Structure 1
Amino acid sequence: MSGKTPGVDALEMAETGNPEPGDGELLVRVCHAALNFSDLLMIDERYQVRPPRPFIPGQEIAGIVEEAPSGVPFSAGDRIASKVLWGGFADYVCARADMAIKVPAGFSLSHAVALPVSYVTALVALDHCARVRPGDTVLVHAAAGGIGLAAVEVAAARGANVIATASAPDRLAVAQAHGASHCINYTQEGWYRQVRDLTEGVGANIIVDPVGGRVGEDSLRCIAVDGCLLVVGFSSGTMPQLAANRLLLKRASAKGVYWNHDTDADLLKQVYADLFDLVSSGKIDPVVDTDRQFDELPAALGDLASRKVTGKMALRISDEGESR
């Protein structure tokens, strides 16, 4: 539970009673709780959602339904993954039924914890914002991170040719193992020339950018005619200053990737169905580090901030068969 002042250093462990679910909410026993950059922003009071302090952070969980109201498609005992507004780094959390995703049989909750944010974002970006097609060239930045690796897998599942960028050889190897055809270290000066060379001067039809800053700006140097730059986030800490003349000359577009359960219910219903199909057919295989225990949250957040995480990192709160 966070203290009354911003910052990871203010985090402290505390005992509290189980939350009381409201209308349309599930009471969920948390097995795994994933970390996201938005957790860091929320803890620092730099996120658009600012809970009253003290509060329990954590916005992405997987666990077992303990209580479910009538009229929702879930029952006690169901295995679910869900986005929550906050409160995920706890033994129990209340999750809105419309945010919950039923986990297919045979798919572990430790893997499912990566679905509600990273994979939903990747599907919204590629299927709905850019409408990826077989044969497209998709350039994915930070391709070993949570959203980046999800985008690599989704793009590959859609039949695209995926070019992955990352900052180190071991991270590029992970992206390649999950569907990238070509890999580039984007810390090298002029990395965008390699994209142009790989595409015989055409460039990438779709660029997925969770990094921002100089990486986002240089992406317009290797975008194809009629291409689309998907602005997913700013993990570099800097928003890109996109050159309008490059967009003009390539007849390209820069599009923000955003979704919200309150305004995008129909869209997310389709995305959840598509995600269930991808999981059930074995076309995605999330990379999740679940070695961290509950009391290691501050250190885990530090690793996330330093971009030392491959795929997703999640706290192990309880085992799937364990009751509390």
Structure 2
Amino acid sequence: MKMQAVAQQAPGGVETMELVERDRPQAVPGKLLVRVMAAGVNRADLMQREGRYAPPPGASPLMGLEVAGVVEEVAGESNFQPGDAVFGLLEGGGYAEYALMDEALAIVKPDPLSWVEAASLPEAWMTAWFNLAEKAGVRAGDNVLVHAGASGVGVAAIQVAGLLGAQAFASAGSADKLAFCRELGAAQVFNYRQAPAFGELVKSWGGADAVLDPVGASYLAENLQALNPDGRLVNIGLMGGLKAELDFGRLLMKRISVIGSTLRPQPLETKARLAAALRERILPGILDGRLRTVVDCSFPWSQVQDAHQYIADSRNLGKVVLTMFPLQAG
């Protein structure tokens, strides 16, 4: 059977993406076939589109790491059945009418959540929890510096810090984004365009015990300056370059831990643990209003080029989501 999907002939700009016909995947034991209703868009998708982030071995070559949809088929014994509404993380393949989802990562969609809201949750919130709660070991009383605070991951990280009893500081590139970060609970904010040497500023607020950084090389020196003794720097992205000079003196004297982290290559067991944290620790807070889902906007998947450009231009406050409603309804 065939399906529609977003694909490329070769890596490149947004213009390389187009709707094409592909073979529909089939459910296998442990993997659900999901009819996709909405798919989250992430910077990892932009990197894959550009040829800078290859899918792991065995994963779909199509972009798309998180979806919400309806179980279409199961194979063998399963805790799910056709017709169940679910959302969850994927290895890839979310930009399509149908996608395979590991059953261990599937979460039942509560009725109050829209398809768009559900599709916006897995990547950002699981990334935030993984890197703050597990990698950085954030605990009550810590100060956490979240760079790109108005991004999808940043929005989740500010709130996860609060959930863990920590205080969040956030960086962003405009006044409206800074105000947005404050609304989400950030105690202090700064415009990285106006304060490129932010280390001393953060120190004046009490310093950071943990930093969540998607920027990389260009922020290394200031991150080390901002961190308190025994601080943890968790790098999750390379927006600011691949290489930087490391001041080992500062690293040693402060006893700083530098941690590199990506979610996509993690083993299924780790992702399943994070899915459980999303289901048990985060989702209840979203449903009772203590935590916010923040979707900036959604695009019909026929406008996937516009969605990618919107994120590339850093225009989003929170998540951007593709919707498949018109095609599914047809």
Query: TM-score with structure 1 length normalisation?
Result: 0.89
| 1:230/1:77 CA distance change after superposition, 3 Å | same
Question: Any idea what SS the aligned residue of 2:305 has?
Answer: helix
- 2:87·2:107 contact (CA, 8 Å) conserved in 1? yes
The equivalent position to 1:73 in structure 2, one of 79, 88, 96, is: 79
Quote how far apart the aligned CAs of 1:291 are.
Answer: 3.1
Quote how far apart the aligned CAs of 1:249 are.
Answer: 1.4
Per-residue CA deviation, residues 149-169 of structure 1 (Å, 9 max, x unaligned), is: 110010012221111111111
1:147 and 2:153 are equivalent in the alignment: yes
Query: TM-score with structure 2 length normalisation?
Result: 0.88
> Which shifted more, 210-219 or 244-253?
210-219
Question: Any idea what SS the aligned residue of 2:71 has?
Answer: strand
Residue 20 of structure 1 is matched in structure 2 by: 26
Per-residue CA deviation, residues 123-175 of structure 1 (Å, 9 max, x unaligned), is: 01111112211111111100001111110010012221111111111111111
Residue 58 of structure 1 is matched in structure 2 by: 64
Distance 2:305 2:57 in 1: 19
Q: 1:1-324 residue pairs with structure 2 within 5 A?
A: 1-8=6-13, 9-49=15-55, 55-187=61-193, 188-199=195-206, 203-259=207-263, 260-262=266-268, 264=270, 267-268=273-274, 270-272=276-278, 273-318=280-325, 323-324=329-330
Quote how far apart the aligned CAs of 1:7 are.
Answer: 1.4
| 1:267/1:94 CA distance change after superposition, 3 Å | closer
Quote how far apart the aligned CAs of 1:45 are.
Answer: 2.3
Residue 3 of structure 2 is matched in structure 1 by: none
Number of residue equivalences: 319
| 1:100/1:216 CA distance change after superposition, 3 Å | farther
- Identity score, percent: 32
Which AA in structure 1 matches 2:12? G
Quote how far apart the aligned CAs of 1:277 are.
Answer: 3.8
Quote how far apart the aligned CAs of 1:116 are.
Answer: 1.5
> What runs of 5+ residues in structure 2 fail to find an aligned partner?
1-5
- 2:116·2:298 contact (CA, 8 Å) conserved in 1? no
- 1:98·1:261 contact (CA, 8 Å) conserved in 2? no
Distance 1:302 1:265 in 2: 29
- 2:224·2:250 contact (CA, 8 Å) conserved in 1? yes
Distance 1:17 1:95 in 2: 16
Quote how far apart the aligned CAs of 1:258 are.
Answer: 3.4
Q: Name the Cα RMSD after superposition.
A: 2.4
Quote how far apart the aligned CAs of 1:109 are.
Answer: 2.5
- 1:79·1:109 contact (CA, 8 Å) conserved in 2? no
- 1:261·1:268 contact (CA, 8 Å) conserved in 2? no
Per-residue CA deviation, residues 186-234 of structure 1 (Å, 9 max, x unaligned), is: 22232222211121xxx11111111113223311111001111111112
Which AA in structure 1 matches 2:139? R
Quote how far apart the aligned CAs of 1:238 are.
Answer: 3.9
- 1:186·1:215 contact (CA, 8 Å) conserved in 2? no
Quote how far apart the aligned CAs of 1:32 are.
Answer: 1.2
> Which shifted more, 6-15 or 262-271?
262-271
Which AA in structure 1 matches 2:9? K
Quote how far apart the aligned CAs of 1:178 are.
Answer: 0.9
- 1:82·1:116 contact (CA, 8 Å) conserved in 2? yes
Question: Any idea what SS the aligned residue of 1:195 has?
Answer: helix
Distance 2:233 2:33 in 1: 39
- 2:89·2:122 contact (CA, 8 Å) conserved in 1? yes
Per-residue CA deviation, residues 68-89 of structure 1 (Å, 9 max, x unaligned), is: 3343322222222122222211
- 1:42·1:50 contact (CA, 8 Å) conserved in 2? no
> What runs of 5+ residues in structure 1 fail to find an aligned partner?
none
Distance 1:50 1:125 in 2: 20
Question: Any idea what SS the aligned residue of 1:75 has?
Answer: coil
